Amino acid sequence: MVTLDAIKLKIAKLEKQAVAIAEKQSSIGLARIRDLMQKHGLSVADIERFVGKRRGRKPGVKAANGAANAPHPNAHPVAPKYADPKSGATWSGRGRAPAWIRDAKDRSKFLIAAGAAPKAASVKTAGAKKAVVKRAAAKKAGAKTTAVKKAAAGTRGRRKAAPAKKAAAPAAAA
């Protein structure tokens, strides 16, 4: 019967063999790397500079043109529905609930009256309404210019004829 001490001796012997094999393989790999470095004329500093470079955008850096902060063109601003009486923070009722209202069983005490919106929220929504009006005006003007362009494109460079005038009286036959 094999004893525990005999098994421990075998384990220690095998661990020593494993370490020796790992060192041999790593020395072979390092020799290959050294040969490749000599072949291509590279130094350790070259490798460190290459490893130091990261490809792509750095984490946490947003686009330089500010497009990441711009709202979606089809997004419609929503007036706040709930307000925190302590901090004055507001929530529209859409998306995840903020921490100050998340665990409340009765959210009715946080409701904002229809005409009594907080100052910050009313200023925000007023600005949003102005932006919507401006966008609508720009869209209307854009539609007019595209209609004119389409009409001009259909004439193939000819000038559009003036609308016909109504005849004042029928011509008398002679």
For the stretch 28-71, pLDDT in tens is: 999 999 999 999 999 888 888 887 766 666 666 555 555 556 66
pLDDT at position 121: 45
Mean pLDDT of all residues in the chain? Answer: 76
Domain limits, the chain: 4-52, 82-154
pLDDT at position 48: 83
Tell me the per-residue pLDDT of 123-159, one tens digit each, with 9 for 90 and over: 445 555 566 666 666 666 665 555 555 555 555 556 6
120 pLDDT band, cuts 50/70/90, is very low
| Closest to 117 (Cα-Cα) out of 91, 97, 86 | 91
Which comes out higher in pLDDT, residue 82 or 154?
82
CA angle 154, 157, 161 (to 5 degrees): 75
pTM > 0.85: no
| Closest to 74 (Cα-Cα) out of 135, 9, 155, 130 | 135
